[in-house]
Structures are given as C-alpha cells and as structure tokens.
Amino acid sequence: MALSLALALVWLANLPFGYWRAGEAKGSWRWVVAIHAPIPLVWLIRDVLGLDWRLATLPLFVGAYFLGQWLGGRARRWRSATGGS
C-alpha cells in the first residue's frame, strides 16, 4: 500500500514540473531545474512513507517520475492548443 501511495505522489508531484518544463526552451537552466527540482521530493516521499531503496522498485519510481513529467507537458501543450492562458 505504501509503495502505491508513493508512486501516486511521485506522479502527482511531477505534473506541475512537467507543465513548467514544457514552456521552457530545451536545455535552458529553467528547463533543467524543472526536471531536477522534484528529485528531493521523491526522496522525501520515500523517506516519510518508510520505503527502503530497493533496486526492484527503481523502475517503478522512474516510470512514475517520467509519466508525471510527460503528462504535465502534454497538459501544457493541450492548454496552449485550446487557447488557455
């Protein structure tokens, strides 16, 4: 149960950062910060929920991380395409 909650929180935490990243020039310092800023949040989520650092869970966390980034970016592109501010 804690693993599922942690993955959901990692995914949710990355949505706004992916949204932000999609509005920045690729390779700019803001783009890099948007990718790397949530990493301490992932560490904090794992620590607070008492999850140890198992190699077997790494692909799940990486997947949740990048899915949140990707969906946040898609949300920004979708909002731009529909005329949102």
Cα gap 29→64, rounded to integer Å: 23
Higher pLDDT, 17 or 52: 17
The mean pLDDT value of the chain amounts to 93
Flag whether pLDDT at 73 surpasses 70.
Answer: yes
Interval 43-57 mean pLDDT:
92
pLDDT of 6-34, one tens digit each? 999 999 999 999 999 999 999 999 999 99
Among the residues of the chain, which ranges form H helices?
2-22, 29-36, 39-48, 58-81
Q: Does 85 score more than 70 pLDDT?
A: no
The pTM assigned to this predicted structure is 0.86
